[in-house]
């Protein structure tokens, strides 16, 4: 706990068996109360490794996509009574050592959202981010800052910390189940007026770290531009979209929390 607030780390996993141990080993368990891993029908030994480590693991019987995985992560964290939820990728691309700093900013009520930015400082290129991804990151971030009226260093990091209030309030069930989920969530935060903090985060690109293909990167980039256009149209009152609807489906909606037999809790060791 930090300042009496329960901190839960969630890890959306897909084929992360080679990097999971290393990632988990650096989580500061003196301040983290629970760690949850949601496996999105991996084809490797991710679940077995997680069980051996002792991580509370939930398994999707069928692949739901990156966004669908996050929705399960946040539901389960909220179900444990989390006050602060940190999303950490289990591929060791982001350092777990920043969890304390990111969580404290929320636990002490300074911010509701904190991002680990790869772009502040020299992190991205120094850490091996492919040049085309860096250029695309900078272009898309420039476009979104212009249209959203913010000055974030990037909108595409996967290292994020949220208050439970944010996760219960945003209509996250209306978001994509694919990679567009991340960007939609940040745009929703801007739409609803939340302040977003950033902290410099070193990053590592190496063979075992997960990374989407060039084709999927292009698809993601187009989805970012589409989400930005929706934001502008919604702000100007020209058109309404479910992701910006205050009455949209949230993770707190009982109808959406019924997982049925599609999510399985795997017995874990301590």
**pTM of this structure:** 0.90
Q: Give the residues across from 34 on adjacent strands.
A: 8
Rounded to 5 degrees, φ, ψ at 66 are -60, -45
Distance CA 208, CA 15 (A): 10
Distance CA 105, CA 135 (A): 30
Q: What is the pLDDT of residue 217?
A: 81
Residue 192 near residue 168 (C-beta atoms within 8 A): no
pLDDT in single tens digits along all 270 residues of the chain? 999 999 999 999 999 999 999 999 999 999 999 999 999 999 999 999 999 999 999 999 899 999 999 999 999 999 999 999 999 999 999 999 999 999 999 999 999 999 999 888 766 666 667 777 788 888 999 999 999 999 999 999 999 999 999 999 999 999 999 999 999 999 999 999 999 999 999 876 655 555 566 677 889 889 999 999 999 999 999 999 999 999 999 998 765 455 655 777 665 555
Domains and CATH numbers, the chain: 7-253 (3.90.550.10)
Distance CA 141, CA 224 (A): 9
Q: What is the pLDDT of residue 121?
A: 72
């Amino acid at each position: 706990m930090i300042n009496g607030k329960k901190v839960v780390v969630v890890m959306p996993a897909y084929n992360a068996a080679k990097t999971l141990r290393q990632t988990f080993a650096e989580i500061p368990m003196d301040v983290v109360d629970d760690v949850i891993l949601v496996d999105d029908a991996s084809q490797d030994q991710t679940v077995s490794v997680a069980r051996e480590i002792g991580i509370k693991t939930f398994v999707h019987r069928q692949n739901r996509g990156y966004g669908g995985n996050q929705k399960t992560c946040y539901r389960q964290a909220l179900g444990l009574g989390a006050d602060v939820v940190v999303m950490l990728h289990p591929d060791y691309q982001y350092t777990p050592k920043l969890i304390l700093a990111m969580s404290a900013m929320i636990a002490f009520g300074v911010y509701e959202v904190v991002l680990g930015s790869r772009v502040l400082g020299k992190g991205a290129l120094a850490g091996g981010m492919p040049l085309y991804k860096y250029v695309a990151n900078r272009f898309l971030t420039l476009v979104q800052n212009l249209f959203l009226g913010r000055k974030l260093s990037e909108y595409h990091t996967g290292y994020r910390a949220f208050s439970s209030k944010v996760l219960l309030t945003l209509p996250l069930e209306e978001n994509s189940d694919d990679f567009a989920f991340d960007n939609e969530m940040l745009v929703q935060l801007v739409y609803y007026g939340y302040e977003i903090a950033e902290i410099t985060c070193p990053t590592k690109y190496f063979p075992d770290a997960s990374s989407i293909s060039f084709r999927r990167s292009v698809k993601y980039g187009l989805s970012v531009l589409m989400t930005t256009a929706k934001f502008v149209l919604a702000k100007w009152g020209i058109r309404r979209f479910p992701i910006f609807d205050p009455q949209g489906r949230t993770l707190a909606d009982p109808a959406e929390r019924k997982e049925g037999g599609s999510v399985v809790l795997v017995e874990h060791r301590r």
